Structure 1
């Protein structure tokens, strides 16, 4: 069956000298995988991390892998592919999303959120704290948002996703100087959070705590390989 879908590129793998395996989060069907024969030559220039595209593809009922016949951009980024910080951020985000959304069905709200954020990143110059904001917002989007039960809490319970003062029975908790900062971040609107001055050491700690939180709550989630690179370029 042939159909048209709107997708956000999450992963690109070489399949042969000219072909690609592509993973998208689509508006119509959630997470989808395709083979794009000759894709390296045909559209290699538009197939970048977080590319927003329209996909024309065939899919057999007995196969999980569709076959792309045409792909075209629905948004042409002006800065993400050419800006080292933004391209590094985009690669990190796609690596996170590819794991979080790998079994996701249709979710129009999630797609709209991601589409908006791709365009925001392309147009914005305020993104030093963005990886933290994105991880917090993504946690909310997938139903594992962190709750502040005590504004003066000092313990982040990774198991229950709660910040409080009670030490949990498990050893899955954080009790360090960045918990107070995390509370402030969770209580801040996007613009205020992005404008906050956070020492690079604290940014690194918070990001690592959030990655560990995703590892605990998302089945099969692993620390993104791009994390260390992203932390380096954001210093």
Structure 2
């Protein structure tokens, strides 16, 4: 079956001498993995390796057999050329981290147009704006909503956040209940728009502690979660 769809690249891994295996989140068919044969050596190919940088937004025409095997991309073009995501060192590092988290957390074989729209709009915002030090915190919290474990903030006035239950509590009921500055900083990211995230003032250490809280939260709620390898880069930039 030939499928024409939008796609966001999550990863591209070299396979053999000239091939790439590319994982994409597509608008119409969910997560797909494609084999791009001879793309690293052929100068005549319509597919360029630059198209498959992390979180690039594409229009693709693909052959989908849906038999659990690798699929094939026949045509691709960049849908939204970025002006800074792959050239600004801070943003490109964020892109690597977010792409790794997305590949880690999303395994949907069914389309999810609302999630796809969220990713499109978030990446466009990141490309167009400066002052992005809090963006990954905001993004991960919102992503938890689409995956299905967004925290219950109805009792946010309470001091404790239970990272296992995903809610705020008045008292500590288990080892999963956290309190203190990090939890208070976490509360600032609820009920705020992406345009206002730079108004949240965090020290480098506070931001690192908040990111660690979120990653622990994801670990408890995402089956097969793996700690991102690019985290050390993020910590060097923002800590």
Measured against the shorter chain, the TM-score band is over 0.9
Distance 1:61 1:205, change over 3 A: closer
Q: Contact conserved, 1:14 with 1:21, CA < 8 A, in 2? A: yes
Structure 1 residue 164 displacement after superposition? 2.0
Looking at structure 2, the residues matched to 40 and 153 of structure 1 have their Cα atoms a distance apart, in angstroms, of 55
1:55 is matched with which residue: 55, 60, 66?
60
Which residues of 2 match residues 85-164 of structure 1 at below 5 A? 85-164=90-169
Per-residue Cα deviation, 1:10-52 (whole angstroms, up to 9, x for no partner): 1111112211001111000111111011233541122111000
TM-score for both structures, normalised by structure 2: 0.92
Q: Contact conserved, 2:22 with 2:52, CA < 8 A, in 1? A: no
Corresponding residue for 2:44? none
Matched, 1:32 2:32: yes
Distance 1:5 1:187, change over 3 A: closer
RMSD: 1.6
Looking at structure 2, the residues matched to 222 and 116 of structure 1 have their Cα atoms a distance apart, in angstroms, of 26
In structure 2, the residue corresponding to 1:40 is in which secondary structure?
coil
Q: Contact conserved, 1:133 with 1:194, CA < 8 A, in 2? A: no
Q: Which moved more, 1:144-153 or 1:109-118?
A: 144-153
Q: Contact conserved, 1:13 with 1:21, CA < 8 A, in 2? A: yes
Corresponding residue for 2:189? 185
Looking at structure 2, the residues matched to 76 and 222 of structure 1 have their Cα atoms a distance apart, in angstroms, of 30
Looking at structure 1, the residues matched to 127 and 224 of structure 2 have their Cα atoms a distance apart, in angstroms, of 30
Per-residue Cα deviation, 1:115-171 (whole angstroms, up to 9, x for no partner): 111111111112100010001110112221112243432211011101222212x42
Structure 1 residue 55 displacement after superposition? 1.5
Structure 1 residue 183 displacement after superposition? 1.4
In structure 1, the residue corresponding to 2:52 is in which secondary structure?
coil
Distance 1:61 1:26, change over 3 A: closer
Distance 1:151 1:68, change over 3 A: closer
Tell me, which stretches of 5 or more residues in structure 2 are unaligned?
Answer: 42-46
Looking at structure 2, the residues matched to 3 and 151 of structure 1 have their Cα atoms a distance apart, in angstroms, of 45
Corresponding residue for 2:10? 10
Tell me, which stretches of 5 or more residues in structure 1 are unaligned?
Answer: none
Matched, 1:174 2:178: yes
Q: Contact conserved, 1:46 with 1:73, CA < 8 A, in 2? A: yes
Corresponding residue for 2:22? 22
TM-score for both structures, normalised by structure 1: 0.93
